[in-house]
Amino acid sequence: MEAYAVYGMKINKWNLMIYSGFFCLLMPTFMISFAGYLFPGASIYLWMAASLVFSYFYASCGKICLKISIPKLLKKPGLVWMLIIIIVLMHNYDLKESITARQPICYISLFILFFILSQTITWVKFFWGVVKIFCTFHLITGIFFLFNKSMLINNIIPLFQVDENVIRLLYQAIENGYMTGLCYHYSTMGMYMALGVVAFSDMLLLQKSTWIQKIGFFSMFLGLLLTGKRGPLLAVVLALLIVYLTTNKLLNRKKLFRVFAGLIFIFALIMVAYYKIPQVQSTINRFIVESSDINSFSSGRVDYFYVNAISMFLEKPLFGNGWRFFRHNIEHYSGGIIGTNDAHNIFLELLADTGIIGLTIFICFFAMSIFVTYTTIKKITGSYSSNAHEVLYLKKAFVYQLFFLMYGLSGNSLYDEQCYIPYFVCCIAGYTYNLQFRNRIIRKRPC
């Protein structure tokens, strides 16, 4: 079975090994609300287990790996990634305040996985398979607790070990009718549903999909509406449209008609849901009612977050104040109005924390990943016309990279692991496909 011709998933020890590796990697991400309820260090142990599983897979499957040398991987993406880790570790306020080492350990684990996973594309389709499982789980539980709020309040929320302000916002979201499910914040559920929309986007990116995939796509989209989150909704729609219009090689009037017909159908569906489902009505009203001025539309972020982030940046514009400085000092800068929180704009927070130097390094990584993924899609599409499904996985990675950056304009995608772990995995997918294409290696796989 050739490297670019695999779509069906056989159940054998190699597949189970990859599945278990991604379950270990993504379990802390998708069950983050219960991180404090699990035994101490559960996330770290799971990430270590993921690294060990993938290392064993690499050692046992040498025939399908490229054996790319470490110096070659360090040439561009690896070197920038190392600089990012140095920025995260140096003058880290999470470590300084002895709060948590969770994020630095996660960044280092992903960096190690970059060297392992970049050797073969075997894992990419399994990653999206595991994402579909987790996102479907959260959609089902979210809808269930949407109609069983008493059970959610009495039996589930007490398990969340978070501060009172978070619980208060959670009760407010439930009262507003938003779908929160097994998450301590409706934003978390919004990120899961947006990732689910990308995972089930076969019907748009492949244009050939099963009825299960179509149901999955529309269900995830409806789930995203039910969360009441505007940022993820706008970001994922724009990302899907950009990828569809820029990577579709045979875009013609017929396909454009399908796109517009699909948009009209979705608009009609939303309008019906607006009058029949109160949660959808609340989401749409957030666009309409709160758009009278920029500060209201941004939920007060301009005055409370953005202005203070710029003030922090101006104090130390070159190297910044230190990683997570904004989060731990916004209460002081806002005069106690805002508690411990992120800036809800990753670029402004990077300016405040890491200065111009740090922001430049991060933007270089973002731009390199986007460029490599996009150019690789165009090259593979032109060279491997019979392997549409393999290109599909890469297109999904491209969509999520765009979503991550656009959502980062109003969210904390770089600081919420339910966002940045899938993002970095998608970046690895882009580099992996690029390496495979450049080396022109097509090998037999054990799976």
Q: Tens of pLDDT along 290-318?
A: 544 444 444 556 777 888 899 999 999 99
Distance, in Å, from the CA atom of 435 to the CA atom of 118, rounded to the nearest integer, reads 8
CA distances (Å), 446 to each of 119, 127, 380, in order? 15, 17, 23
pLDDT score of 267: 65
* Residue 446 resides in a domain: no
The pLDDT of residue 4 is 35
Q: What is the pLDDT of residue 163?
A: 77
Q: What is the mean pLDDT of residues 159-167?
A: 80
Does 5 reside within a domain? no
CB 61 within 8 A of CB 122: yes
What is the average pLDDT value for the chain, to the nearest integer? 79
| pLDDT for 63 beyond 80 | no
pLDDT tens by residue, 241-258: 899 888 876 655 566 666
pLDDT at 345: 92
Q: Let me know the angle formed at the C-alpha of 359 by 354 and 363, rounded to the nearest 5 degrees.
A: 150
Report the alpha-carbon distance of residue 138 to residue 136 in Å, rounded. 5
Q: At 1, list the tokens.
A: 């079975």
Q: What is the pLDDT of residue 350?
A: 95
Better-scored residue on pLDDT, 187 or 49 = 187
What's the average model confidence in pLDDT over 83-107? 83
Residue 145 reports pLDDT greater than 80: yes
Assigned token pair, 410: 């109003």
Q: Are 100 and 340 in contact (CB under 8 A)?
A: no
Asked if residue 362 lies in contact with residue 354, where contact means CB atoms within 8 angstroms, the answer is yes
Residue 213 within any structural domain of the chain: yes
- 40 pLDDT tier (thresholds 50, 70, 90): low
Task: Give pLDDT, residue 366.
Answer: 95
Task: Identify how many contiguous H helices and E strands the chain contains and give both numbers.
Answer: 22, 0
Interval 331-351 mean pLDDT? 86
pTM across the whole model? 0.86
DSSP code, position 339 = -
pLDDT band for position 38 (cuts 50, 70, 90) = low
Closest of 188, 193, 191, 200 to residue 129, by C-alpha: 200
2 part of a folded domain: no
Give the mean pLDDT of 322-343: 85
Size (the chain), residues: 447
The pLDDT of residue 322 is: 92
Strand, coil or helix: 427 = helix
For residues 271-296, average pLDDT:
56
Note whether residue 166 is domain-resident. yes
Q: Calculate what percentage of the chain has a pLDDT beyond 70.
A: 75
pLDDT of res. 446 = 40
For residue 447, is it within any domain? no
**pLDDT tens-digit series, residues 192-203:** 999 999 999 988
Residue 281: pLDDT band by 50, 70, 90 thresholds?
low
pLDDT, position 5: 35
Asked whether residue 8 is assigned to any structural domain, the reply reads: no
Tokens 């904390």 correspond to what residue?
Answer: 412
| Packing angle of the helix pair 79-89, 346-383 (nearest 10 deg) | 160
Segments forming the whole domain that contains residue 63: 13-439
Q: What pLDDT band is residue 276 in, cutting at 50, 70 and 90?
A: low
pLDDT band, residue 357 (cuts 50/70/90):
very high
Q: Which one, of 187, 174, 267, lies nearest residue 235 by Cα?
A: 187
Q: How far apart are the first and last CA of the chain?
A: 8
pLDDT value for 441: 42
Instruction: Flag the least confident range among 180-194, 310-324, 371-385.
Output: 371-385
Helix or strand or coil: residue 299? coil
66: pLDDT strictly greater than 70:
no
In 3D, which of 287, 279, 161, 236 has the Cα closest to residue 411? 236
pLDDT band at 398 (very low <50, low <70, confident <90, very high): very high
> Taking the C-alpha atoms of 81, 189, 159 and 279 in order, what is their torsion angle to the nearest 10 degrees?
160
Domains in the chain, number: 1
Residue 389 within a domain: yes
Q: How many CB atoms lie within 10 A of CB 104?
A: 16
pLDDT of residue 118: 79
